[in-house]
Amino acid sequence: MAEAAFSLGAATDLLIEARESIDSLLGDWAEHLQQEIGGRAGEALAYALKTPGKRVRAALLLGAYRAAGGSSPGIVGVAASVETVHAYSLVHDDLPCMDDDDLRRGRPTAHRVFDVPTATKVGFMLVPVAARLLAVGARELGLAAPTLGGMAIELFQAGGIEGMVGGQWLDLEAEGRSLALSELITVHRGKTGALIRAACTLGGMAAEAPPRVLAALTAYGADVGLAFQIADDVLDATGTSEELGKPAGRDAELSKSTYVALLGVEGARAEAHRLAAAATAHLEQGGVPSDALGALAGYIVNRTS
Ligand code: GRG
């Protein structure tokens, strides 16, 4: 398989920065919200908000923001809002009515630590938290109301029936059925790709990038978002639960259609690498600096967790 020679250095730097800044901001919000809400629901919300992820969506947003010329540290609030939508989706994805998983990010899932009604409530409560983080972040960046409005539409449309919710819905309906590749692409672009694409677009919007740059970032995000889910399919089939921090082999157990089921492990890997290269080419064609984002695309398809 031909693999592009990615330098992972710039990706590692961005991922470390994203992890540190997001963990710190969400940790503060978790403590504050726990006091505001109180009781078991407050405790459970803080648990969900503080479980540490790789922060790939935040790293992509920071990378896109800087590639579009942004330089304010205030961008971390916007990145945290995307990570919060993602956190809600993980809490709900793990529920018995969806994937029914016991382990997430190396820890017991929210409904196992608390209970199903509390975890269900927590997932819903995280959505307005994400909206608040977006608004506070945009204010810190000094963005005008119409820009914030556009960013809210971008984030919540990507998280809704046109994107993440719609993709997850199709995915659940397709359990036990073998999808054609075109149907699987629709599922993957929705359930996983839409939020990743939005993270890249939001970075550009926060930097008030011109339409040509925004279009390149969005095209990059769309390809890298699909590549991310294909890599996830490969890891589910080849990784261990310890490496992944979540149960491995669940796709086969749940009879899910995946790239691995359709193309085999090597075929799926090759497609993920093709998409990562195509994503980076969109930036180059749009005249957008591609060092850090190109490295992140490489990380996304070479990662082991
Ligand atoms: C009501 C139908 C309906 C849906 C609600 C639950 C839900 C919305 C959507 C599920 C979306 C989802 C969980 C997609 C999978 C995305 C994915 C590959 C997650 C893993 O991402 P990583 O590896 O995780 O970035 P970390 O833990 O590192 O953040």
Our count of domains for the chain comes to 1
Ligand 1 atom nearest 90 alpha carbon: 13
Residue type, 145: A
Ligand 1 atom nearest 98 alpha carbon: 6
Which tokens in the block code for residue 162?
């046109």
Displacement of CA 33 from its chain's centroid (Å): 23
CB-based contact 276:4 (threshold 8 Å): yes
Identify the band that residue 80 occupies on the pLDDT scale cut at 50, 70 and 90: very high
Parallel, antiparallel, or unpaired: how do β-strands 103-104 and 107-108 relate?
antiparallel
DSSP, collapsed to helix, strand or coil, labels residue 107 as strand
Q: What is the mean pLDDT of the segment spanning 210-219?
A: 98
- Output the pLDDT for position 105: 96
- Site to probe by mutation for ligand 1, drawn from 60, 86, 101, 186 as the one with most ligand atoms within 8 Å of Cβ, is 86
pLDDT digits (tens, 9 = 90+) for 27-69: 999 999 999 999 999 999 999 999 999 999 999 999 999 999 9
Mean pLDDT value across the chain:
96
Answer yes or no: is pLDDT of 243 > 60: yes
The closest residue, in CA terms, to atom 2 on ligand 1 is 169
pLDDT digits (tens, 9 = 90+) for 146-183: 999 999 999 999 999 999 999 999 999 998 889 999 99
- Output the pLDDT for position 84: 98
CB-based contact 205:147 (threshold 8 Å): yes
- Output the pLDDT for position 86: 98
pLDDT digits (tens, 9 = 90+) for 90-118: 999 999 999 999 999 999 999 999 999 99
Ligand 1 atom nearest 245 alpha carbon: 27
Going 112 to 116 to 121 to 124, the CA torsion angle's sign is positive
Distance 225 CA to ligand 1 centre (A): 12
Instruction: Kindly provide the b/e burial profile for residues 28-44, where b requires at least 16 CB atoms within 10 angstroms of the residue's own CB.
Output: ebbeebbeebeeebbbb
% residues pLDDT > 90 (the chain): 95
Identify the band that residue 1 occupies on the pLDDT scale cut at 50, 70 and 90: very low
List ligand 1's pocket residues with C-beta within 6 A.
53-54, 56, 86, 89-90, 92-93, 98, 105, 164-165, 168-169, 191-192, 229, 232
CB-based contact 257:187 (threshold 8 Å): yes
CB-based contact 156:89 (threshold 8 Å): no
Query: In the block, which residue shows the tokens 């929705």?
Result: 190
- Output the pLDDT for position 112: 97
| CATH code: domain of residue 275 | 1.10.600.10
Nearest CA to 244 out of 103, 74, 39 is that of 103
Distance 68 CA to ligand 1 centre (A): 27
The domain in which residue 177 lies consists of 3-302
